[in-house]
Structure 1
Amino acid sequence: MVRNFKILAVLLVFSFITKIHFTSSDEGANMFCSTREKHALLTFKQGLTDPSHRLSSWVGDNCCTWEGLGCDNMTGSVVRLDLKNSVDDDYYYDYYYTTSNEEFEAHKMAYKMTSLGGEINPSLLELKHLKSLDLSWNDFNGVSIPDFLGSLKSLQYLDLSHAGFGGKLPHQLGNLSNLHYLSLSRLDMVEIDNLEWLSHLSHLKHLDMSNMYFSKASNWLQVISTLPSLLELRLSHCGLDYFPSLLYHNFTALEVLDLSGNRFNSPLPDWFSSLNNLLSLSLRINSFHGPIPRALQNLTTLTNLDLYWNEFNSAIPDWFSSLNNLLSLDLSVNSFHGPIPHVLKNLTKLTDLNLSRNEFNSTLPDWFSSLNNLLSLDLGYNSFHGPIPHVLKNLTALRVLDLSNNNFNGSLPESLWNLSNLHELVIGNNSLEGVIGETHFANLTRLQSLDLSTNSLALNVSSAWIPKFQLIDLDLSSCKLGPQFPAWLRTQNSLSALDLSNASISDNIPTWVWNFPFQLSYLDLSNNQIKGELPNTLPDQTYLGSNNFQGLLPRLTSNVYVLDLSNNSVSGNMSFFLCNPLNETYQLFALDLSNNLLVGEIPNCWMHLRSLMAVNLDNNNLYGNIPSSMGSLIALSSFHVRNNSISGELPSSLQNCTWLQTMELGDNELSGSIPAWIGKNLLNLAALGLRSNKFKGKIPGELCNLTSLQTLDAAHNNLSGAIPRCFSNLSAMATKKDTSFVKYISYNSRFDEKILLGSKGLLLEYKFIPLELVTSMDLSYNSLSGEIPQEITSLLGLRYLLLSNNHLTGEIPEKIGDMVLLENLDLSKNQLTGVIPQSISRCYSLAQLNLSYNNLSGEIPTGSQLQTFTESSYLGNDALCGTPLLKKCKRNDFGETTHTKAQDSDEYDMMEQFYVAVAPGFVVGLAGFCAALVFIDKWRLAYFRFVEDMKDRLLARF
């Protein structure tokens, strides 16, 4: 017995020594898991899809050496299963705005290829000692989170975030009583119906349920408040809109609270003031308004406070000085106003301060020098003015300085150029002036991003200058650089974004611009006089508009997603550009080739450019039909082909482009009738331009369905019939609110919609903000007939109403004065009758009026703008009188206008019509009577007897 005990003791000691040996081995090479756990893992693997073979190491007997596995150092039991996808899709959120489209798509493909999928096999239940399970950033394509996970009682760490799970959130997770860490974020397909199970997780320290919708879990706050150990709570983008009442809470241990991206429409509750251990608070992207809540003033332990993008609209309160442990403060995108308060000078630990996009004014205070720990300072998009202060020289640690879009003036201070740690210097869009030379940049050796744009600055450096920095982003737009192209740019081997637009450059473009060692992803050389031909390959975003580029279009490559070559001398046809090769996938979403010398037909290969949102081919020499493949562009919002020689009827395939907001087809040779499908399918149209074509027939009543339509231009066609009465349904013209056109701004794109409208015989271009305010209907120069519908006066938001040169009859609608926003009214050269309604005097915005060459009568109304118009507005209406005409109106004894001439004219017309009608009857009757006297003897004898008798009677009387 004793001998057996000794043997057992020796074996135990040997086993312990062996375990120690295994522990010291590398990657558990000498640690063996049990056969039971190995088989369970292999069964689990069989249920997964693994396109990149991430689990290829799962072979052999020792599962402790397999990829993603961790074993206990003493027992060999599997305690960790980490299958997180290392190529996480956060690239989409963090880098989408800064990388090229090609890089982005490559990363998306890599993420997809490395994602595990399939099903979670219950064999995992054999891992009875599993403490950590991480399946995050994979794609299980809507598969439900398995209920059996709630039986892994040893779990302390569970991360299922962004793994593509769906179905209902299993309440069995509440059985994981040892759980310390739970992340379910970005599971937006998972349905939450109740959160009571959370109250059982008494050891939970970290809870992240961001991007899950809590609409059915109204008790979310009451449940979470029962978690006594909670240190970190993240509930961003959960659709929360109010704080439920809370009688008791246990949040005093909380250190991190993230409620960003919700839509709270209530003030912060009082219990916020008791979060005495809170280190980080994020309330960004909500709807909080008014002053900053006083509930925050007790949070003196805070190191990070983020109130970005709310509706706070006060000055910064004095109690802010108590938050003197802050390292990061973001108050950007609010409506804070006034000067920067002196209380911020107490926040001397600040490393990051963002006050951008508010309404701060005044000059920068001297006490700014006390914030000498700042690494990042963003004051952009405010109303600061005066010179840039010298106090910035004390902020020697600064890496990022953004003073853009303010009213700073004067020259750049020398102290600015001594901030040797600067990585980003952004001072664009101010009123700065002066000349910048090579010496200014001598100390900025770490500079990576430089923005001096939209100032009155001139860069004067030698062609041999070699800067000590290597830039990634450079914006010198609207600075004086020319006439030569800056040669020093050739030294910038890391340049990714370059903007030299409107920089007075009139040089030939150097070939090395197209061959930067690091391919440019953004290039803007627009609004210069740069000459040269286009390269074979263009950057992802290319803006070369308004220059002197010539030659043929290059072949479109798959990396390009924004291309502006407008207002150049590019020639040739578009076939090689668009159609070679046909099997390539294109990313192009905005294309502007307007105002060039392109010829030939529009090629029929648009089916390969399904991402296109904007196409502008205006003012070229294109001919032939609009190709049917244009209908493949289902994302198309803006389509321009004005002023070409396009012919034929509109292809019915265009009705597939249901997102169209602008369709500008004017000044071509298009024929046929206006298709009814425009009003049936293109319900998002805001601008429809059909001007100067050969359209005929009636205006289809289906156009009345276009409730978003702001501008309708069908002038100079062969349209006939009546103006549809249902035009009163065009509600975007009937309201006074502004309807925004799409601005084609994606990533860093600058595409903006523009249209041409007729005014005083001219075509005026409207773009940017003014376009959003324009409402216009131009049906002039057609063959329209009938009356002007009374219903048209319900379009109270209309600013342009142009109906001249038609065959319209009847009177001007009596309620024309209800259209108080009218700026241009042209009813000339029709056949309108009656008086000019007195109500027209209420059109106080009227700047242009033309009623000439109709049959209007009576006195011209007075009042408002009407006295500013000349006689030309009323010519050709002979029966009109009053100012500004020389012909005065006659008045009767009661002071009323007699309209004598008009009445005499009317009486003369009536008499003339009477005589015209009576004379033929008289002649016929007389002829018949004379014929009877000739051919009927009795009548002739009776007539002469009657005459003789009458003669005798008359003689007897006298």
Structure 2
Amino acid sequence: MVRSSKFLAVLLVFSFITKIHFTSSDEGANMFCSTREKHALLTFKQGLTDPSHRLSSWVGDNCCTWEGVGCDNRTDSVVRLDLKNPNDDYDDYSDEEYEANKMAKLGGEINSSLLELKHLKSLDLSWNDFNGTSIPDFLGSLKSLQYLNLSYAGFGGKLPHQLGNLSNLHYLDMSRLYMMEIDNLEWLSHLSHLKHLDMSWMKFSKASNWLQVISTLPSLLELHLSLCRLDYFPSLLYHNFTALESQQSSFTDLSYNSFHGPIPRALQTLTKLTDLDLSSNKFNSAIPNLFSSLNNLLSLDLSHNSFQGPIPRALKNLTTLTNLDLSFNKFNSAIPNLFSSLNNLLSLDLSHNPFQGPIPRALKNLTTLTDLDLSGNEFNSTIPDWFSSLNNLLSLDLSYNSFHGPIPRALQTLTKLTDLDLSWNKFNSTIPDWFNSFKHLEHLDLEMNSFSGPIPVSIGGLRSLRILYLSNNNFNGSLPESLGNLSNLQELNIGNNSLEGVIGEAHFANLTRLQSLDLSTNSLALNVSSAWIPNFQLIDLDLSSCKLGPQFPAWLRTQNSLSSLFLSNASISDNIPTWFWNFSSQLYYLDLSNNQIKGELPNMLPTQTYLGSNNFQGLLPRLTSNVYELDLSNNSVSGNMSLFLCNPLNETYQLTALDLSNNLLVGEIPNCWMHLTSLELVNLDNNNLYGNIPSSMGSLIGLFSFHVRNNSISGELPSSLQNCTRLQTMDLGDNELSGSIPAWIGKNLLNLAALVLRSNKFKGKIPGELCNLTSLQTLDAAHNNLSGAIPRCFSNLNAMATKKGTSFVNNNSRFDEKILLGSKGLLLEYKLSTLELVTSMDLSYNSLSGEIPQEITSLLRLPYLLLSNNHLTGEIPEKIGDMVLLENLDLSKNQLTGVIPQSISRCYSLQLNLSYNNLSGEIPTGSQLQTFTESSYLGNDALCGTPLLKKCKRNDFGETPHTKAQDSDEYDMMEQFYVAVAPGFVVGLAGFCAALVFIDKWRLAYFRFVEDMKDRLLARF
């Protein structure tokens, strides 16, 4: 008996110790999966690709301890397999984090060995990449599955209907399967226990019965069908949505679609809905009254649609609403008073509609509001004083309106505010001192207004501030040192103001959390010691147009987290320090342009590098695959481009913009552009390049802008350039290009807006195909050897005839693209922003012949028409005065004849040169034609009148005598009359005289007639 008692005591102690061990061990340590399930998982693993070795823990006998595997604590069976990518959302990822996410994606194929996991309840393969393979049919045989998540896993093909066999499924997520096609959804009707269904971003275009099927799911609580290409509601328009009505649906999401037409009556039965999201669709009606029956709604999102007209009064019945989003629609009335009844609202978003007039007092009753967004409307009043009643507001956004005047003291009562956005308005006062009452304010945005005066010292008392935006105002004075007290501040932007003075270390004393600093475009000078070590680590820094120099700022060396650095126009004239190029490898953006920095370029450059207008020397570095935009213009970089572009050739380059203009580059343009197919802008102006334009330039099918002005490029234009169909600006001027202007320019480069062929050796006729360039605003082919007539079809150049200008693509806003155009006897430089407003045609200094076509006068928006130094004949078109916007008309040194048309006087801002032609007659009066100097008409000997010294002759009536030059039409008519009548008169007189001589009776009768007439006349007088 004693023995058995001892044995029992030992057994109890052992059992207690064992229990303690199991309880304190890791999950699964006290469970052992079966050999069958272990082998099934290992076989499944063999079919997968695993670049980051996420499944490296899948070793040993106990699979319950493996990464992502979960077992039942009673049966030891595998019940959970969670292989979701741990980095499942990379919207805000850095490049390194993006690569880590990419490496963590599993791939390969799903092995049917999973069927051995008989008790598997949860399977998650989301955010991996199975590269378009089909979802395996056998997944439908995992009868125990309750949770299945395949979202964003890269599956494609057709959706297997076998999934309908998963009768125990509660949760199904197949969202973001871009490559998946759905032709039938009948299988869904078998999932009677389904509560959550997400098929967002799948293609529903062939599933016409989607609504009927979904209406049969009796347990459904949440439905997500965003971006499914649904463009109509099928035949269930008047069918009761009874299945959904019978459940307490908590969320219905039909967002991001292209629905049109009224919302069907079927939705009117969803009276138990608490959350309804129909956002980002394209409804083409007013909001229907059916929403009045959804009186249990807590959240209603109708944003990003095309709802029009007034907001219906039916919404006032939704008194339980706590969240209402009507943003980004087209409501065209004032905000209605119905909101007074929605007094449970916590969040109201009416932003980005064309609401007008004052903000209605009805909003005064919404005293529970914590978030109010009225941004992006057309309110043009002051902020009303009754805002003081909204004293529970945490977030207030009134940006992008036309509020004006001072900020009312009523806002002083909103002491709970954490976010205040008044940006993009017309406030024109100083910042009031009572702003220091916003003790909880974390985000203050006042940018893009007309605030003036100094930045108040009191802002330094807002100790909770994390974000402070004051940029693009009229603040003046010095920067208050009190800003250094904002110990929680993460982002400070005061760029583009009129601040001045010195910034010292005291301004940054306590800014230990500062990550983004923008002091650009002010007159500030940074004065810190060379040994200063800031107590912050910046990610973004912009000190452009501040005075930092002449030395390069040494304290930058301490900023180990810096991603973007903008120091353009910062008065730096130092040698670039050696440490900086090692430091720059961490940067994404680097802008040191418009300084006088000296030194040589490194082998590795940041992704976006702007070093233009400095004194950098040496050879070009080798281009690396990470560089996205590169500006080295206006330096003294030398050597050739081959090593830069063509070594090695096996890399994939992402370069989109390259500016090497105004350097000392020599040699031929290398023929390896086929490896740079992402390029959109290439500028090689003003170098010493020679040889032909390489054929591989035609590989740049995304090219918008191509400049090689002022080099020694020769040969004909390669036909491969016709592949660059997106070209808008092409400047080939001041080279030695030859041959004819290719007809394919007018056939293929239909987006051309500026074509500059100036000062080359082009010959032959201007091809009529250029008339197809309806977007062409600038044509400069001056100083070539072109011959033949000016095409009459130039009247088809619509961009020179209509008001609408071309919208030049400017994806590379930091590149200051320029074009030189002939105007008023000079070459003027136009930036891209100005070029959009300029139209010009310069065909001067060629050998063009024939008449100036009358059709050219239809180019009514053309201010510059330069045709001088050709062999043009005929008269100036009579309707030249229709071109009333002409500023410079140069027809000098041709063989034009006739008079100057009177209509030219309608060109009220004209600079005119008609010298050295054969014009005649009087210079027309009116406008400023008499204000020109004699040089405008020199070399036309038959011209007379002001401003010439030669006066026009007048007849007795004070009129200028008709001359052939003045009245050529009348003179020609009279001459033809005399030529026709004179011979008849002579022949008739000769016949009459002959009759008198040879016919006696006629002779006697004639003399009797004469005697009789003489007697009658004598008798009368």
- 1:700-736 Cα offsets, whole Å, 9 max, x none, are 3333443443322211111112233444444444543
Indicate the residue corresponding to 1:99 in structure 2.
93
For 2:540 and 2:309, how far apart are their aligned partners in 1? 37
Pairwise CA distance, 1:592 = 0.9
Counterpart selection for 1:834 from 869, 874, 898? 898
What does residue range 463-542 of structure 1 map to in structure 2 within 5 Å?
A: 463-516=530-583, 519-542=586-609
**Equivalent residue of 2:179, what SS?**
coil
Question: Does structure 1 conserve the Cα–Cα contact (< 8 Å) formed by 2:905 and 2:927?
Answer: yes
**CA 1:703 to 1:147, structure 2 compared with 1: closer, same or farther past 3 Å?**
farther
**CA 1:406 to 1:210, structure 2 compared with 1: closer, same or farther past 3 Å?**
farther
For 1:333 and 1:885, how far apart are their aligned partners in 2? 63
Question: Does structure 2 conserve the Cα–Cα contact (< 8 Å) formed by 1:777 and 1:801?
Answer: yes
Question: Does structure 2 conserve the Cα–Cα contact (< 8 Å) formed by 1:393 and 1:418?
Answer: no
Indicate the residue corresponding to 1:176 in structure 2.
166
For 1:927 and 1:162, how far apart are their aligned partners in 2? 111
**CA 1:908 to 1:383, structure 2 compared with 1: closer, same or farther past 3 Å?**
closer
**CA 1:16 to 1:577, structure 2 compared with 1: closer, same or farther past 3 Å?**
same
For 2:705 and 2:219, how far apart are their aligned partners in 1? 55
Pairwise CA distance, 1:477 = 1.9
For 1:379 and 1:482, how far apart are their aligned partners in 2? 40
**Equivalent residue of 1:29, what SS?**
coil
For 1:868 and 1:145, how far apart are their aligned partners in 2? 83
For 2:523 and 2:324, how far apart are their aligned partners in 1? 37
Pairwise CA distance, 1:676 = 3.0
Q: Say which is worse superposed, 280-289 or 75-84, in terms of deviation.
A: 280-289
For 1:432 and 1:254, how far apart are their aligned partners in 2? 62
**Equivalent residue of 1:663, what SS?**
strand
- 1:490-519 Cα offsets, whole Å, 9 max, x none, are 332222111122233344444333333872
Pairwise CA distance, 1:790 = 4.1
Pairwise CA distance, 1:543 = 1.2
Q: Say which is worse superposed, 246-255 or 518-527, in terms of deviation.
A: 246-255
For 1:193 and 1:897, how far apart are their aligned partners in 2? 88
For 2:340 and 2:1013, how far apart are their aligned partners in 1? 127
- 1:342-390 Cα offsets, whole Å, 9 max, x none, are 9999999999888777777789999999999999988877777889999
Indicate the residue corresponding to 1:314 in structure 2.
333
**CA 1:21 to 1:828, structure 2 compared with 1: closer, same or farther past 3 Å?**
same
**CA 1:660 to 1:384, structure 2 compared with 1: closer, same or farther past 3 Å?**
same
**Equivalent residue of 2:237, what SS?**
coil
Structure 2 length normalisation: TM-score? 0.73
Pairwise CA distance, 1:433 = 5.0
Pairwise CA distance, 1:571 = 3.1
Q: Say which is worse superposed, 6-15 or 662-671, in terms of deviation.
A: 6-15
**CA 1:62 to 1:488, structure 2 compared with 1: closer, same or farther past 3 Å?**
closer
Pairwise CA distance, 1:694 = 0.9
Question: Does structure 1 conserve the Cα–Cα contact (< 8 Å) formed by 2:576 and 2:598?
Answer: yes
Counterpart selection for 1:786 from 850, 873, 879? 850
For 2:340 and 2:731, how far apart are their aligned partners in 1? 57
**Equivalent residue of 1:642, what SS?**
coil
- 1:133-178 Cα offsets, whole Å, 9 max, x none, are 2222233333334455455444332222222223344555455454
Question: Does structure 2 conserve the Cα–Cα contact (< 8 Å) formed by 1:237 and 1:259?
Answer: no
Q: Say which is worse superposed, 785-794 or 46-55, in terms of deviation.
A: 46-55
**CA 1:68 to 1:910, structure 2 compared with 1: closer, same or farther past 3 Å?**
same
Q: Say which is worse superposed, 288-297 or 131-140, in terms of deviation.
A: 288-297
**CA 1:323 to 1:952, structure 2 compared with 1: closer, same or farther past 3 Å?**
closer
For 2:690 and 2:998, how far apart are their aligned partners in 1? 79
**CA 1:233 to 1:305, structure 2 compared with 1: closer, same or farther past 3 Å?**
farther
**Equivalent residue of 1:103, what SS?**
helix
**CA 1:504 to 1:491, structure 2 compared with 1: closer, same or farther past 3 Å?**
same
For 1:657 and 1:367, how far apart are their aligned partners in 2? 60
Question: Does structure 2 conserve the Cα–Cα contact (< 8 Å) formed by 1:502 and 1:526?
Answer: yes
Counterpart selection for 2:214 from 216, 221, 224? 224
**CA 1:450 to 1:13, structure 2 compared with 1: closer, same or farther past 3 Å?**
same
Q: Say which is worse superposed, 811-820 or 66-75, in terms of deviation.
A: 811-820
Indicate the residue corresponding to 2:231 in structure 1.
241
**CA 1:941 to 1:274, structure 2 compared with 1: closer, same or farther past 3 Å?**
closer
Pairwise CA distance, 1:253 = 14
For 2:536 and 2:99, how far apart are their aligned partners in 1? 30
Question: Does structure 2 conserve the Cα–Cα contact (< 8 Å) formed by 1:473 and 1:496?
Answer: yes
**CA 1:755 to 1:537, structure 2 compared with 1: closer, same or farther past 3 Å?**
same
Question: Does structure 1 conserve the Cα–Cα contact (< 8 Å) formed by 2:283 and 2:307?
Answer: yes
**CA 1:646 to 1:20, structure 2 compared with 1: closer, same or farther past 3 Å?**
same
**CA 1:520 to 1:361, structure 2 compared with 1: closer, same or farther past 3 Å?**
farther
Q: Say which is worse superposed, 361-370 or 233-242, in terms of deviation.
A: 361-370
Question: Does structure 1 conserve the Cα–Cα contact (< 8 Å) formed by 2:899 and 2:966?
Answer: no
**CA 1:340 to 1:930, structure 2 compared with 1: closer, same or farther past 3 Å?**
closer
Question: Does structure 1 conserve the Cα–Cα contact (< 8 Å) formed by 2:693 and 2:717?
Answer: yes
Question: Does structure 2 conserve the Cα–Cα contact (< 8 Å) formed by 1:136 and 1:161?
Answer: yes
**CA 1:335 to 1:782, structure 2 compared with 1: closer, same or farther past 3 Å?**
farther
CA RMSD across the alignment: 8.2
Structure 1 length normalisation: TM-score? 0.77
Question: Does structure 1 conserve the Cα–Cα contact (< 8 Å) formed by 2:185 and 2:209?
Answer: yes
Pairwise CA distance, 1:130 = 3.1
Pairwise CA distance, 1:338 = 8.1
Pairwise CA distance, 1:841 = 6.0
**Equivalent residue of 1:560, what SS?**
coil
Q: Say which is worse superposed, 60-69 or 713-722, in terms of deviation.
A: 60-69
- 1:174-219 Cα offsets, whole Å, 9 max, x none, are 5545443332222222234565665665654444333334555677
**Larger RCO (CA under 8 A, 6+ residues apart):** 1
For 2:804 and 2:487, how far apart are their aligned partners in 1? 50
Question: Does structure 2 conserve the Cα–Cα contact (< 8 Å) formed by 1:272 and 1:295?
Answer: yes
Pairwise CA distance, 1:823 = 4.6
Q: Say which is worse superposed, 288-297 or 73-82, in terms of deviation.
A: 288-297
Question: Does structure 2 conserve the Cα–Cα contact (< 8 Å) formed by 1:545 and 1:568?
Answer: yes
Question: Does structure 2 conserve the Cα–Cα contact (< 8 Å) formed by 1:480 and 1:504?
Answer: yes
Pairwise CA distance, 1:472 = 0.9
Question: Does structure 2 conserve the Cα–Cα contact (< 8 Å) formed by 1:493 and 1:518?
Answer: no
Question: Does structure 1 conserve the Cα–Cα contact (< 8 Å) formed by 2:677 and 2:700?
Answer: yes
Pairwise CA distance, 1:393 = 11
**Equivalent residue of 1:281, what SS?**
strand
Q: Say which is worse superposed, 260-269 or 135-144, in terms of deviation.
A: 260-269
- 1:757-815 Cα offsets, whole Å, 9 max, x none, are 21112222222433223333322211122233444445455443332222223344455
Query: Gapped runs of 5+ residues in structure 2?
Result: 246-275, 418-465
**Equivalent residue of 2:827, what SS?**
strand
**CA 1:591 to 1:832, structure 2 compared with 1: closer, same or farther past 3 Å?**
same
Query: Gapped runs of 5+ residues in structure 1?
Result: 86-93, 743-747
What is the number of residues matched between the two proteins? 939
Question: Does structure 1 conserve the Cα–Cα contact (< 8 Å) formed by 2:594 and 2:613?
Answer: yes
**CA 1:63 to 1:490, structure 2 compared with 1: closer, same or farther past 3 Å?**
closer
For 1:893 and 1:243, how far apart are their aligned partners in 2? 89
For 1:271 and 1:870, how far apart are their aligned partners in 2? 77
Alignment of 1:403 onto 2:475: no
Pairwise CA distance, 1:640 = 0.9
- 1:814-845 Cα offsets, whole Å, 9 max, x none, are 55555565554433333334455566566677
Question: Does structure 2 conserve the Cα–Cα contact (< 8 Å) formed by 1:686 and 1:710?
Answer: yes
**Equivalent residue of 2:928, what SS?**
helix
Question: Does structure 2 conserve the Cα–Cα contact (< 8 Å) formed by 1:889 and 1:899?
Answer: no
**CA 1:657 to 1:137, structure 2 compared with 1: closer, same or farther past 3 Å?**
same
**Equivalent residue of 2:158, what SS?**
coil
**Equivalent residue of 1:408, what SS?**
strand
Pairwise CA distance, 1:693 = 0.7
Q: Say which is worse superposed, 455-464 or 945-954, in terms of deviation.
A: 945-954
Indicate the residue corresponding to 1:414 in structure 2.
481
For 1:477 and 1:363, how far apart are their aligned partners in 2? 35
For 2:481 and 2:369, how far apart are their aligned partners in 1? 25
- 1:381-434 Cα offsets, whole Å, 9 max, x none, are 777788999999999999223343455566656765543312112232345555
For 2:324 and 2:500, how far apart are their aligned partners in 1? 36
Pairwise CA distance, 1:25 = 6.3
**CA 1:225 to 1:126, structure 2 compared with 1: closer, same or farther past 3 Å?**
same
Question: Does structure 2 conserve the Cα–Cα contact (< 8 Å) formed by 1:177 and 1:200?
Answer: yes
Q: Say which is worse superposed, 758-767 or 485-494, in terms of deviation.
A: 485-494
**Equivalent residue of 2:517, what SS?**
strand
For 1:285 and 1:2, how far apart are their aligned partners in 2? 83
Pairwise CA distance, 1:521 = 1.7
Pairwise CA distance, 1:642 = 0.7
**CA 1:182 to 1:694, structure 2 compared with 1: closer, same or farther past 3 Å?**
same
Q: Say which is worse superposed, 223-232 or 546-555, in terms of deviation.
A: 223-232
**Equivalent residue of 2:468, what SS?**
strand
